[in-house]
Amino acid sequence: MFLLSAIIILSYLIGSIPTSIIVSKAVKGIDIRKYGSGNAGGTNVMRVLGLKHGLFVILLDVLKGILVVVVIARLHYGNMPFQNITPFDDFTLVQIIAGISAVIGHIWTIFAGFKGGKGIATALGMLLMIITVDMLIAIGVFIIVVTISRYVSLGSLIGTITVPLSLIIRENVFNVDIPSYNTILPFIIAVSLLVVYTHRKNVVRILDGSENKLSFKKKNLLLTK
């Protein structure tokens, strides 16, 4: 269990790297949490510092999720403590544990007073490595929703809900044999509920019309404070 504990700790620490805070301080010398929506995430960086810096932060956060699933989880490969049906199921479970540890680190980062982002990009990176097809479908839904509504939060929510629905439909309606389906589905549902929870304030703002819409125009920092 020592290796599994090490994977959890390392994944949490990698997820905790506050990329949005680091980038905003490096670019403008500011704490991104004091501007825009106050959230330490790529979307807020995009609103405050512009599209280029926002996408850079999102890419870094996605890479955090990919790193823990592809590299960190493999520390335990071949020495699994779980008695599942196949080695693939074992490794998938370790990947899930590593991934969720990174997402928790991103949301509650130890490096910034346990106040981080909402975990969407890091979860995206993790899930792209585990359920690629379903995540690509969700990304497509996200792009369509954001393009139409210009609400990144709405796109994130609907895209998140799309993932478990895609899994269920592909497995049970189209009879696609998804490896480790029974292991992955409960986890995906739990992650989706976590994402909905972290976006609860956004839902309220969308309903009352006060949620910020995404703009591709250059931002004036003073106006977004």
| The pLDDT value given to residue 144 | 97
- Per-residue pLDDT averaged across 71-94, rounded? 65
| The pLDDT value given to residue 223 | 39
| The pLDDT value given to residue 76 | 67
| The pLDDT value given to residue 198 | 80
pLDDT at 165 over 90: yes
pLDDT at 78 over 60: no
| The pLDDT value given to residue 192 | 87
For the chain, what is the HEC assignment?
CHHHHHHHHHHHHHHHCCHHHHHHHHHHCCCHHHCCCCCCCHHHHHHHHCHHHHHHHHHHHHHHHHHHHHCHHHHHCCCCCCCCCCHHHHHHHHHHHHHHHHHHHHHCCHHHCCCCCCCHHHHHHHHHHHCHHHHHHHHHHHHHHHHHHCCHHHHHHHHHHHHHHHHHHHHHCCCCCCCCHHHHHHHHHHHHHHHHHHCHHHHHHHHHCCCCCCCCCCCCHHHHC
- Per-residue pLDDT averaged across 35-47, rounded? 90
Question: CA-to-CA distance for 146 and 2, rounded, in angstroms?
Answer: 43
Average pLDDT, the chain: 87
- Per-residue pLDDT averaged across 92-97, rounded? 88
Place of tokens 């690509």: 136
Do 178 and 171 touch, CB atoms closer than 8 A? yes
Q: Which residue, among 32, 56, 80, has the nearest Cα to 224 in the 3D structure?
A: 32
pLDDT at 196 over 80: yes
User: Which residue did the predictor score with more confidence, 72 or 74?
Assistant: 72
Lowest-confidence region among 77-81, 171-175, 203-207: 77-81
| The pLDDT value given to residue 20 | 97
| The pLDDT value given to residue 86 | 47
Question: CA-to-CA distance for 45 and 39, rounded, in angstroms?
Answer: 9
Its pTM stands at 0.79
Q: Which residue, among 192, 123, 195, 138, has the nearest Cα to 170 in the 3D structure?
A: 138
Question: Over the stretch 118-159, which tens digit does the pLDDT of each residue have?
Answer: 888 998 999 999 999 999 999 999 999 999 999 988 998 999
Question: Over the stretch 105-116, which tens digit does the pLDDT of each residue have?
Answer: 999 999 999 999
Do 27 and 6 touch, CB atoms closer than 8 A? no
Instruction: Please give the structure tokens belonging to residue 82.
Output: 């779980």
| The pLDDT value given to residue 118 | 85
* % of the chain with per-residue pLDDT over 90: 61
How many alpha carbons fall within 13 Å on the CB side of residue 29? 0
Question: CA-to-CA distance for 19 and 168, rounded, in angstroms?
Answer: 34
- Per-residue pLDDT averaged across 69-80, rounded? 74
